[in-house]
Structures are given as C-alpha cells and as structure tokens.
Amino acid sequence: MSDGGIGASVRRKEDARFLTGRGTYTDDINRPGQLYAYILRSPHAHAEIGSVDTSKAKKAPGVVAVFTGTDIAADNVGGLPCGWGVKSKDGSPMIEPPHPVLAQGRVRHVGDPVAAVIAETREQAKDAAEQIAIAYKTLPAVIEATDAIKSGKPQIWDAAKGNVCFDWHIGDPAAVDAAFKKAAHVTKIDIVNNRLVPNAMEPRSAIGEYDRGTGEHTLYTTSQNPHVIRLLMGAFVLHLPEHKLRVVAPDVGGGFGSKIYHYAEEALVTWASAKVGKPIKWTADRSESFISDAQGRDHVTHAELALDKDGKFLGLRVSTVANLGAYLSTFAPAIPTYLYATLLAGTYTTPVIYCEVKAVFTNTVPVDAYRGAGRPEATYVVERIVEMAAHEMKIDPTELRRRNFIPKDAYPYQTPVALQYDSGDYFSTLDMATKAADYAGFAKRREDSAKHGKLRGIGIATYIEACGIAPSAVAGALGARAGLYECAEVRVHPTGSVTVFTGTHSHGQGHETTFAQVIADKLGVPVENVDVVHGDTSKIPFGMGTYGSRSIAVGGSALIKAIDKIVTKGKKIAAHLLEASEADIEFKDGKFTVVGTDKSKAFGEIAFAAYVPHNYPIETVEPGLDETAFYDPKNFTFPSGAHIAEVEVDKETGTVQLMKFTAADDFGRIINPLVVEGQVHGGLVQGIGQALYENAVYDGSSGQLVTGSYMDYCMPRADNLPNFSVGTHTTLCTHNPLGVKGCGEAGAIGAPAAVMNAVVNALAPLGIKDLAMPATPERVWRALQGQKAAH
C-alpha cells in the first residue's frame, strides 16, 4: 500500500480550494444572460387562495415573467413525488396528497410557495413580488400532531381523515402484553422529541438552464443526490427523459439530510428557464430556508419497559405520534417507521417489542430525515427509559446496561424488530467511555460542583444505528420506490493516474480524500495522483447519493468492486507482458509480479500498455483500463457506541453548562481517523444542540414559525461547548469488502440522550425525574421552581 492508504490521517485534498475562496457552490455559478427568481410564499399557515392579481408585478421594472399555480397546472407540471410508501396496520396504503410546485387553491403552511417572479436582478424580482395581490381566505390551522388527530380539528387534506397519513405498527403486541404480565417492574415515560431546523450553512440554491440547440436541460442545485433529483424531477414532475436532463450538485455547503429531497424550486427554475429561454437562478435567504427546507424529528411518544427483578428487560411497548408537516417530503414516511421503530432494540436483548406510529399532517413545514433520521428518536426513547428504570430500581445505569447488552458472541443477532446485527461489542465501547470520562471519579466532581453552588450530573447513552441503507430488495419490500445500491467508476489514465467517479456526494464528508485513500491502498497510486469526481449526472454513470452514513459502506464497496475489476484485467495484461500464466500473477504494493520470481510490472506500465497496446493480448483483452461497478448492500451496517455527558446546572438561572463529553464509537474499519473524528465532533454538536438549544417553535394559533431566524433559533456556538474526548473500538462489518460501518450520524444519535440523562441526573436530588428537550435555562429554571414550561 501507499503512504496515504487506509488508516492514515491524510490532510484533505479538497481543503486547498475551500481555504482560498475557490470552492464553487451553486450560488457562485452565473450563467450567461441569467435571470433571477424570487418565490412569493404564503404568509398564512392555512388559507384558501382567492383571486391572484399579478398584472402590476408583470409590469414592474426588469420583470420577465410571473408564474402561479395556474400556469404550472396549465402546463401539466406534476407534483413532487414521495419516494417511500408505507402501509397502515389494516393494510391500506398511506394517504398521499398532491404536492404541487406552486400552491393550487389552498396553502397549507407558512412558506408554501405561491408564485414565482422572474426578473433581471434579484432585487427587481423581490420588489415586484410585493406587487402581487392575493386574496387569501384564512382557515383555522393545526400545528401539533397530537392536536391534529383530535376530533373537530381543522382538516388539512380531504383524503386524510383526522389528518392521519398512516397508522403503522411493528412487532408482536400479544407477546409484549404477556411479557408485561410477568414483569417485576415497569418503567413508563412520556417523551417529546423536539422539531429541529437542519440549517446547513449554505442556503439552498438552484439554477435552471435550457439549451434550445440540443434540447438539454441543466439544473445546478444544492443536492446530496443529483441522480435522485434527475430521476424524480425528470420522471414525475417535468416529464423529461434522463438523456435530456443534467443535474449538477457542485460544492455543497452541508446537507444533514435537508438537501436529499426534491424541492419545488428545482423544478420551478428548470421549467421556467425553458419557458423564458434564459437561465434562472434562485437562492434562498436564510429566513426562507427556515420555512422551506424540510425539518427534522417532532415525535410525541409514550413508552413502557418491563423488567424482571434483576433488571433484565422483558419487553418494550412504544406508541408514537409523528408530525409530517403539510406535505409528504421525499422520504418522510420511512423516517418514523423503518428508520425508527426497527432501532428500538438498541444495544439490548429485549426479547419482544411492539411499536405503533401514527403519522400526521399539520400546517407546518414538511418533516423528513435530518442527521440520524429516526435513529436519534429511537435512541432517545430507549436510553431515556433505561436511565429512568435504573434510577427507579436503584441500579447503576452502566450496570443495568451491561446486564442487558447483546453478548459479544451472539452475532449475527436477530432483533424482534426486523434487523439482524452483523457485529458489535457494546461492552468495550462502554468500558472505553467510562474510563475516558472518569466515571468512577464523578461523585467527587459532583461534590466539588456543589461547593460552588452548582448541580452536577452525568449521563450515559449507548446506541446502535442502521446505516449503509440498504439491500434494494429489502428496501423495496418495506416501501422504497428506488434501489439503494451505489455506483463507482475507476478510470485509470494512460500514465497511471486515476479518476474515480462516485455516485455518492460529498458536502463536507471529505470523499475526495478518503476515496482516494482507498485507491492508494488498493492500487498503490499516490493520493495526489487520484481525483474523485462526484455531483454531476453527465460525468458519473449513476448514483443514489449520500445520506444515512452510506457513502463508504455502499459507495466504498462499489469502489472496491471496480478496483477488483481493474486488478483482474491488469493481471491478464501483466501475464501477457511477463509471459506467465494469469494464475501466477499476484498484485501487491502497486506491482504485478510472477509469484516466486522477481519478474514484475508496475501498475503504471500496465496502464500504459492498456492504452498503447502494441504488445498486448488484443484477441482476448480489450484496450483501455476503465471499470464501472454497482454494489447492492447485503445488509445494513450497524455502527454503535457509548456516549457520556457531564453537565453543571446553575440553580439560580437554570443555565446548563456542558462540562465534558466523551464518545467511544465502533465504526468498523476506519479509512481516515482525522476525518472520522471531525464527523463525530459535528454530529455531537447537532445532538447537543437538540438537547440544550435548538427548537422549532410554531405559534399554536397563527402557525407562524416563531424561531424563524438565527435571532430566535439557537444554533450551538463555539463558546457553548467544551472540547470532546472521542475514541473508537473496532469490530468489522462482516458483509462488505472494506469492513466499514459509517460514521456520519453517530454523534447526533447518541448525544441527545446522553446530555438529557446528565441534566436529569443533575436535577434528580431535587426530585426532578424528567425534563423535555431542549433543556433551556427557562425550562430548567421552571422545573426548579416546580413550574411547567411554557412551551
């Protein structure tokens, strides 16, 4: 292997352009003759659209066109499709309402797009939009999912009675009932998993362009999965064939799930650019992102855990109401079902589990996957109830967890909720975390904090996640309307340098470096001689993109398959050049060698021979050295770990200060430790943000997003946080060629429960047993005063 191979903390190749201001994000791109779109959005949460008068706006300076829902409908533009279908308990399909690109007849959340103004400048488009007169007839709105299912509430879709999209379940309720009858102890908890706004730092942006000469449409967009956008927009919305539609997702400034989905603005600029014959750019203001990017979480859950007298878990019963918002976002139905309830076994041997989920429409921004996507919600339920049970049964929380962990020799382990874990070692990660966090020394630190009037608490969360989504047949059986394989092309150039084309997408993860490291390791080509290309449907054969920590697990496996094909072909060429049998050629350290001899050919020599085939087995081997592979995963991967948070609470102000955070994770084989640590740090802060700071709050009657800017939505800042202690303990994934599991979401999955367990632990001496996230000073202070929080 080369120096920059698997396991090396190679400094990132992509950094040079990002550090010097030479990145190319969508809004940095300007096309000749480009116009600008401004989207006029609904100021109401729920209203009938009466008359719409665009005549003044059309005459405003610089305005080229104004489009409304009527124009979209007249041109036969389709609605935004949902990519996952879920069936209710009774076998009936979920209610799947239309999702028009511009609202038709009714608006259903603040921010619902109503009209688009196309003008020569952004400012002209914005100014003109103020001259559009719309007669809204406001309707009562419903915001909370638990409220929306009550009788007599506003109905958002005629087809969705009681606002229910689906009423789904998993597990064996009778077996769970039987387990509870045998229980020596039952712990019950009510949980609100707060709604979050993803807030990638780069606001969404899209540029549509149409070439009348070739009939080709191009969409530049802030996407995590350009091929998925091409498929959805081409096939369902604009009815354009793939060969006439190119989707480019250039440098993308963070995604965290929010840039997976096909959004109205993408279809709008693509469609409108052909209508007006000029490129059109739209870029969101941050305020617009708050009311138009899909949001995350928003569950209300009741859970019950049955234990025997020794604290062994006998059964878990969970009932969740999940808020989907006003429309079905692309993967929304999968999140509170197959990415949530299937994770409720966690790291434990709980033998029977039953979970029912009611998914509900409300007059809010659509909810979909946000970093972790269902798995943080599941982990929060499991780890809060386990912590509460430990407290009630007076068993140390680490001890209770150890008594119930899946034994090290029990893999593959079949859970009662569909998943089969291939590998893991929860004992070792918990040991690592407790040592690194000095768990044993906590009592002393608590006393020290008490001396200066502070309440100190410690909290543990162990977690399992299901990543590398997913075997296509399994996903299909569960309702996915797409395959979930990945594609890689390895193009070896004549002088031996390599370009990798991957269907995954990097928007911060560092694939340009880590995928190059895999090439360096397997082909012996130095990292600097490898370029990794992603994000352009005209360059990459195909791809499903990046989400669910799948890039290395699925995309990396496709890469290995393509590398294997290169090596196989290289052996044939080498055998010819070395006048040996193909079976006697081995490839190692960048050289093809005749086994047991010093006869060899360097990788570069083979590449050259492939492109200049003068002395070449041309009858049996094609010239060139360029291979493509698709890989369909055999199972999910199961990263796991233990996180420990330590907090200090100020009794006077209710302020929670995070003092320490320790993470011990199992990600399988690690390609680049520096990059992995960075992924963990970032995930942790999103999880800590959920626990302590972030909350999407809607006004209950008007449906306005009260936390609609960085003035009101509390993003974690550098001075809120300590340094982190992160470490890894490796068990390899058993079913993919690299043994990798994925690391992108772990931090956000483990941290909320760890932090909230610590906060509750700090408050426990005062008789406080539970508190809802986020533990803001106001909430903690009210709890300390024995009052109920306002929100």
Partner 1 sequence: MATTVSMTVNGKTVSGSVEPRTLLVQFLRETLGLTGTHVGCDTSQCGACVVHVDGNSVKSCTMLAVQAEGAQVTTIEGLAKGDELHPMQAAFREHHGLQCGFCTPGMVMSAVDLAHKVKNPSEDQIRHWLEGNLCRCTGYHNIVKAIKAGATAMQGGK
Given candidates 27, 265, 521, 536, which one binds partner 1 under the rule CB under 8 A?
A: 27
Q: How many CB atoms lie within 10 A of CB 36?
A: 23
Please give the order of strands across the beta sheet that includes 133-138: 106-107, 47-53, 133-138
Q: Which amino acid is at 362?
A: T
Site for partner 1 contains 3 (CB under 8 A) = no
For partner 1, give the closer residue by CB, 124 or 163.
124
Site size for partner 1, by CB under 8 A?
Answer: 57
Site for partner 1 contains 320 (CB under 8 A) = no
Rounded least distance, CB 21 to partner 1, Å = 2
Q: How many CB atoms lie within 10 A of CB 159?
A: 10
Rounded least distance, CB 202 to partner 1, Å = 4
Given candidates 682, 739, 742, 750, which one binds partner 1 under the rule CB under 8 A?
A: 682
Identify the bridge partners of residue 326 per DSSP, sorted by sequence position: none
Token representation of residue 457: 């608490």
Given candidates 201, 440, 583, 790, which one binds partner 1 under the rule CB under 8 A?
A: 201
Site for partner 1 contains 583 (CB under 8 A) = no
User: For 131, what's the count of Cα atoms within 13 Å in the CB-facing half-sphere?
Assistant: 16
Among residues 84, 147, 755, 95, which one has the least CA distance to residue 476?
84
CB 268 within 8 A of CB 282: yes
Identify the bridge partners of residue 457 per DSSP, sorted by sequence position: 647
Give strand ranges (E) for 237-288: 245-248, 280-283
CB 688 within 8 A of CB 661: yes
Rounded least distance, CB 22 to partner 1, Å = 7
Report the SS3 class of residue 567: helix
Q: How far apart are CA 189 and CA 385, in angstroms?
A: 6
Site for partner 1 contains 123 (CB under 8 A) = yes
Q: How far apart are CA 673 and CA 727, in angstroms?
A: 10
Q: Which of residues 382-401 bind partner 1 (CB under 8 A)?
A: none
Q: How far apart are CA 416 and CA 411, in angstroms?
A: 14
Rounded least distance, CB 771 to partner 1, Å = 23
Given candidates 260, 264, 675, 758, which one binds partner 1 under the rule CB under 8 A?
A: 675
Q: Which stretch binds partner 1 (CB under 8 A): 44-52, 149-157, 245-253, 549-557?
A: 245-253
Identify the bridge partners of residue 627 per DSSP, sorted by sequence position: 490
Can the peptide bond before residue 412 be classed as cis, meaning omega within 30 degrees of 0? yes
Site for partner 1 contains 75 (CB under 8 A) = no
Site for partner 1 contains 685 (CB under 8 A) = yes
Among residues 778, 784, 757, which one has the least CA distance to residue 457?
757
Site for partner 1 contains 745 (CB under 8 A) = no
Rounded least distance, CB 590 to partner 1, Å = 27
Site for partner 1 contains 74 (CB under 8 A) = no
For partner 1, give the closer residue by CB, 426 or 661.
661
Given candidates 678, 700, 727, 777, which one binds partner 1 under the rule CB under 8 A?
A: 678
Given candidates 49, 206, 231, 252, which one binds partner 1 under the rule CB under 8 A?
A: 252
Rounded least distance, CB 219 to partner 1, Å = 19
For partner 1, give the closer residue by CB, 132 or 726.
726
For partner 1, give the closer residue by CB, 284 or 772.
284
Rounded least distance, CB 406 to partner 1, Å = 29
Given candidates 11, 188, 539, 588, which one binds partner 1 under the rule CB under 8 A?
A: 11
Site for partner 1 contains 251 (CB under 8 A) = yes
Work out the end-to-end distance of the chain between its first and last CA atoms, rounded to an integer number of angstroms.
57
Site for partner 1 contains 202 (CB under 8 A) = yes
Q: How far apart are CA 362 and CA 364, in angstroms?
A: 5
For partner 1, give the closer residue by CB, 76 or 723.
723
Site for partner 1 contains 254 (CB under 8 A) = yes
Given candidates 132, 149, 200, 607, which one binds partner 1 under the rule CB under 8 A?
A: 200
User: For 719, what's the count of Cα atoms within 13 Å in the CB-facing half-sphere?
Assistant: 0
Rounded least distance, CB 677 to partner 1, Å = 7
Question: What one-character-per-residue DSSP string does 15-53 give?
Answer: HHHHHTT---BGGG---TT-EEEEEEE-SSSSEEEEEEE
For partner 1, give the closer residue by CB, 16 or 473.
16
Site for partner 1 contains 683 (CB under 8 A) = yes
Rounded least distance, CB 249 to partner 1, Å = 12
Site for partner 1 contains 15 (CB under 8 A) = yes
Site for partner 1 contains 32 (CB under 8 A) = no
Q: How far apart are CA 104 and CA 74, in angstroms?
A: 11
For partner 1, give the closer residue by CB, 23 or 624.
23
Site for partner 1 contains 14 (CB under 8 A) = yes
Give the pairing of strands 353-361 and 164-171: antiparallel
Nearby residues of 669 by Cβ (< 8 Å), 6 or more positions away: 6, 7, 730, 732, 733, 738, 739, 740
Give the pairing of strands 420-421 and 164-171: unpaired
Given candidates 137, 161, 182, 286, which one binds partner 1 under the rule CB under 8 A?
A: 286
Rounded least distance, CB 527 to partner 1, Å = 14
For partner 1, give the closer residue by CB, 81 or 673.
673
The site string for partner 1 over 256-285 (x = CB under 8 A, - otherwise) reads: x----------------------------x
What is the four-CA torsion angle of 86, 91, 97, 101, rounded to 10 degrees? 30
Helix, strand, coil abundance in the chain, percent, nearest 5: 30, 25, 45
Q: How far apart are CA 142 and CA 383, in angstroms?
A: 31
Q: How far apart are CA 539 and CA 562, in angstroms?
A: 16
Among residues 209, 220, 226, which one has the least CA distance to residue 271?
209
Angle at 126 between CA 35 and CA 229, to 5 degrees: 55
Rounded least distance, CB 603 to partner 1, Å = 28
Q: How far apart are CA 463 and CA 751, in angstroms?
A: 10
The angle, 0 to 180 degrees and rounded to 10, between the axes of the packed helices 673-692 and 746-763 is: 40
255 Cα distance to chain centroid: 8
For partner 1, give the closer residue by CB, 20 or 76.
20
For partner 1, give the closer residue by CB, 19 or 135.
19
Report the SS3 class of residue 243: helix
The angle, 0 to 180 degrees and rounded to 10, between the axes of the packed helices 777-784 and 746-763 is: 30
Site for partner 1 contains 681 (CB under 8 A) = yes
Site for partner 1 contains 203 (CB under 8 A) = yes
Q: Which stretch binds partner 1 (CB under 8 A): 352-360, 622-630, 647-655, 671-679?
A: 671-679
The site string for partner 1 over 696-735 (x = CB under 8 A, - otherwise) reads: -------------xxx---xxxxx-x-xx-----------
Q: Which stretch binds partner 1 (CB under 8 A): 131-139, 199-207, 349-357, 597-605?
A: 199-207
Q: Which of residues 499-518 bind partner 1 (CB under 8 A)?
A: 507-510
For partner 1, give the closer residue by CB, 578 or 715.
715
Rounded least distance, CB 664 to partner 1, Å = 16
User: Phi first, then psi: what are they for 776, rounded to 5°?
Assistant: -75, 160
Q: Which stretch binds partner 1 (CB under 8 A): 40-48, 74-82, 195-203, 550-558?
A: 195-203
Token representation of residue 603: 């990788």
For partner 1, give the closer residue by CB, 221 or 362.
221
CB 456 within 8 A of CB 449: yes
Site for partner 1 contains 12 (CB under 8 A) = yes
Residues that bind partner 1 (CB under 8 A): 11-12, 14-25, 27-28, 123, 199-203, 251-254, 256, 285-287, 507-510, 674-675, 677-679, 681-686, 709-711, 715-719, 721, 723-724, 747
